[in-house]
Structure 1
Amino acid sequence: MEESDRAMLTRVADYQWGAGAGTALFGDGDPEVTHTSSGRPRQVIGEDGRLVTYATDGRFTLGLDGGKRLHEGLSDGRYRVVVGDESEPFVREGRNAFAKFVSDADPAVRPGDEVVLTHERGEVLAVGRAELSGEGMLDFEAGVAVFVRDGAEAE
């Protein structure tokens, strides 16, 4: 990855998920960056798979490997939604996470934010887009909390 790409992508990640997110996502190794025909970064691919896609709205969508890096790099629980045993197999399959099964969520999460879904044990289950605020996920008993984009296979 070119230094100019790394600096720009790190700034966007730090803006979207807070200080340290860019380092967590792009600090290790040398991820491959694909570009659009106009030269804008599009996909960032790490050693194990897609980290992020740089969307046309100027924000990232998380890949599963990017979610794992964020989970490891941001130990304070930012942009994390926690579910229990009841919904684990469904979330792993890529099905949406419902508010009824959310046991904890970062209160800073807003609808539309990219989040990492983890199990109560701490392992990453999936990544996706929040449909409710962090507080709303805990308050509501019905409805989709997170639109799951990519689920992790059981280990």
Structure 2
Amino acid sequence: MAEIDSRTARRTRRRRALAVTAAGLFLGLGAAGTALAVPDTTTVPGTPCSEAAQACVDLASDQAWIIENGAVTYGPVDISHGGQGTETPTGDFAVYDKDADHYSAEFDGAPMPWSVFFAPGGIAFHEGDRNSTSAGCVKLRSHDATVFFGKLDQNARVEVR
């Protein structure tokens, strides 16, 4: 019974992501979670992201931050991200779903605890082994993943550089 509930929850999340994608394309906003207009170009000191970001990822330095009211409130924290052929997408996104106990439907039920989904294709922040690349997700230490999960709500702006 729990397996059926889990599958139903995964299907619901996928449908939501598809609906967000369709709505964004219809409105001319781009793909699910993607914001085309940058409301503020002032960069937060110590990060490559704007003051409008609530989460910032720097793929070149393998670091991420939480930003509140234009200032870093958490981080930098060490991350791992997508590898060759499964790169983490860059751009401006919005959180569209969260799941504290998520399992990957694409990768044989691999655990993805504290998932915060922000980019098309199920790309998320989540707890994971930072010594290996992901299939596009941003992997965090356990404690860092719980902080990102707690701080980022629906529609929170995520900037990946």
TM-score, shorter chain, exceeding 0.5: no
Please identify which structure carries the higher helix content.
1
Length-normalised TM-score, structure 2: 0.28
Length-normalised TM-score, structure 1: 0.29
